[in-house]
């Protein structure tokens, strides 16, 4: 008996090779199997490049005729930067197509198109795993706003710094390297101005391989120093979110350096985070990792823009220090925010806890 799940797992692994390179397109992996042998492999390598199905068909060549195709996401059936994959699948003589998950993009109709063209087609194999691959893409397509992760590194007693503000380093080198790996997989990293003023971070991926993300600084009064590392290094990858409290002269200087400055409406004197997400979505940013302090983390959660929490917990105790999340207005334990689909794993000497809001 053919194990569809076995082959879809391989297709998922192939899709992951495109992490950090395909946005705002989805991650897609494709496998072509004939007589229980893999004859073709492909994945979407970067935005604007050939789709996974096309790479797999090229790899398989004439062996594709009469074979079964496994693809993590519904094949496209429309003309975009590349021709429709459904046409190439039909032309290659593929006998059966096994699809992991539907594409929420309303112009994609590959499942029905392939069935209409007489190809045996199934959908929903390892669907949850395939959807997780593209959780950012799927939210952006449906709601036109980015998928938002709040990431924090805390001590065993929940502190991100001592009472003096010292935070270097709570977690291990292995955990910090993994954070840089996570950064390379998102479109942007976001912090508040207080984090910039206190830590002067670079927000790059120097401890891992991959691309540097865009840097989003939430700064309602535009206190951002022009000599800060986030400004000096790759200013063309910097987005500053501010309000009409900002100096017009400073806005102009940042723009001349190559930065994007978004002047947004205020909410209780601060940048309106919901409006910021809409503006970032319009810029094609599908995923953001917030690495802010307690105030920004709490504001993001209260505004309902957060989808996922990733906490690195170190086996250290600090005592009277600075917490990871500010006031959420919760007075009773039974009103606390409960994460869903929670997972745990060890990285170095630290534990990573992930869950969805």
Read out DSSP for 108-168?
Answer: --HHHHHHHTT-EEEE-TTHHHHHHHTHHHHHHHHHSS-EEEEEEEE-TTSEEEETT---T
CA atoms of 14 and 26, how far apart (whole Å): 13
Q: How many CA atoms lie within 13 Å of 135's alpha carbon, on the beta-carbon side?
A: 14
**pLDDT for residue 78:** 80
Asked whether the beta carbons of 186 and 307 are under 8 A apart, the reply is no
* Number of neighbours of residue 21 by Cβ within 10 angstroms: 18
CA atoms of 171 and 103, how far apart (whole Å): 38
Residue 174 annotated to the active site: no
**pLDDT for residue 82:** 66
CA atoms of 85 and 117, how far apart (whole Å): 13
Residue 136 burial class via C-beta count within 10 angstroms: exposed 0-12, middle 13-18, buried 19 and up: buried
Q: What angle do CA 328, 329, 335 make, to 5 degrees?
A: 90
Q: Side by side, which strands form the sheet with 147-154?
A: 260-263, 238-242, 214-218, 188-192, 287-290, 147-154, 308-313, 350-356, 340-347
* Number of neighbours of residue 221 by Cβ within 10 angstroms: 14
Backbone angles phi, psi at 120, to 5 degrees: -65, 125
**pLDDT for residue 2:** 67
* Residues listed for the chain: 357
pLDDT tens for the chain, 357 residues long, are 568 999 999 999 999 999 999 999 999 999 999 999 999 999 999 998 999 999 999 999 999 999 999 999 999 988 766 679 999 999 999 999 999 999 999 999 999 999 999 999 999 999 999 999 999 999 999 999 999 999 999 999 999 999 988 888 899 999 999 999 999 999 999 999 999 999 999 999 999 989 999 999 999 999 999 999 999 999 999 999 999 999 999 999 999 999 999 999 999 899 999 999 999 999 999 999 999 899 999 999 999 999 999 999 999 999 999 999 999 999 999 999 999 999 999 999 999 999 999
The answer for 15, left when phi > 0, alpha when psi is -120 to 50, beta otherwise, is: alpha
CA atoms of 340 and 167, how far apart (whole Å): 29
**pLDDT for residue 166:** 86
Residue 51 burial class via C-beta count within 10 angstroms: exposed 0-12, middle 13-18, buried 19 and up: buried
Q: Residue 99 contacts by C-beta under 8 Å, 6 or more apart in sequence?
A: 71, 72, 73, 74, 75, 110, 111, 121, 122, 123, 124, 125
In the block, which residue shows the tokens 């799940």?
A: 5
Asked whether the beta carbons of 309 and 149 are under 8 A apart, the reply is yes
Which entry of 53, 74, 113, 291 is annotated as an active-site residue? 53
Please give the sequence-ordered ranges of beta strands (E in DSSP) within the chain, or none if there are none.
Answer: 29-34, 37-43, 68-73, 96-101, 120-123, 147-154, 159-162, 188-192, 214-218, 238-242, 260-263, 266-267, 270-271, 287-290, 308-313, 321-323, 340-347, 350-356
CA atoms of 205 and 184, how far apart (whole Å): 6
Asked whether the beta carbons of 54 and 94 are under 8 A apart, the reply is no
Asked whether the beta carbons of 288 and 182 are under 8 A apart, the reply is no
The angle that helices 85-92 and 52-60 make with each other, rounded to 10 degrees, is 20
**pLDDT for residue 3:** 85
**pLDDT for residue 304:** 96
Residue 68 burial class via C-beta count within 10 angstroms: exposed 0-12, middle 13-18, buried 19 and up: buried
By DSSP bridging, strand 29-34 and strand 37-43 are antiparallel
């Amino acid at each position: 008996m053919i194990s569809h799940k076995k082959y879809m797992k391989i297709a998922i692994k192939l899709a992951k090779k495109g992490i950090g390179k395909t946005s705002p397109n989805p991650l897609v992996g494709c496998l072509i199997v004939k007589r229980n042998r893999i004859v073709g492999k492909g994945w979407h390598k970067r935005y604007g490049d050939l789709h996974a199905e096309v790479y797999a068909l090229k790899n398989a060549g004439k062996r594709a005729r009469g074979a079964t195709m496994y693809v993590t996401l519904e094949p496209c059936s429309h003309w975009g930067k590349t021709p429709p994959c459904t046409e190439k699948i039909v032309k290659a003589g593929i006998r059966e197509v096994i699809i992991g998950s539907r594409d929420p993009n309303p112009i994609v109709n590959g499942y029905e198109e392939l069935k209409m063209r007489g190809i045996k087609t199934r959908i929903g194999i390892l669907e949850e795993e395939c959807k997780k691959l593209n959780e950012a893409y799927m939210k952006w397509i449906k709601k036109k706003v980015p998928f938002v992760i709040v990431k924090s590194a805390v001590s065993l007693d929940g502190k991100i710094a001592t009472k003096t503000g010292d935070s270097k380093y709570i977690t291990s080198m292995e955990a910090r390297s993994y954070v840089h790996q996570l950064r390379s997989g998102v479109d942007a990293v976001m912090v508040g101005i207080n984090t910039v003023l206190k830590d002067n971070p670079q927000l790059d991926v120097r401890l891992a391989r991959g691309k540097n993300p865009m840097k989003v600084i939430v700064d309602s009064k535009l206190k951002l120093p022009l000599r800060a590392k986030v400004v000096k290094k790759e200013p063309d990858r910097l987005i500053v979110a501010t309000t009409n409290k900002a100096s017009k002269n400073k806005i102009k200087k940042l723009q001349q350096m190559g930065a994007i400055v978004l002047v947004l409406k205020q909410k209780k004197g601060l940048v309106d985070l919901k409006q910021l997400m809409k503006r970032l979505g319009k810029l094609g940013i599908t995923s953001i990792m917030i690495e802010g302090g307690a105030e920004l983390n709490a504001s993001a959660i209260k505004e309902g823009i957060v989808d996922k929490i990733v906490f690195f917990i170190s086996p250290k105790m600090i005592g009277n220090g600075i917490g990871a999340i500010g006031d959420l207005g919760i007075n009773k334990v039974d009103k606390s925010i409960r994460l869903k689909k929670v997972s745990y794993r060890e990285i170095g000497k630290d534990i990573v806890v992930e869950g969805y809001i």
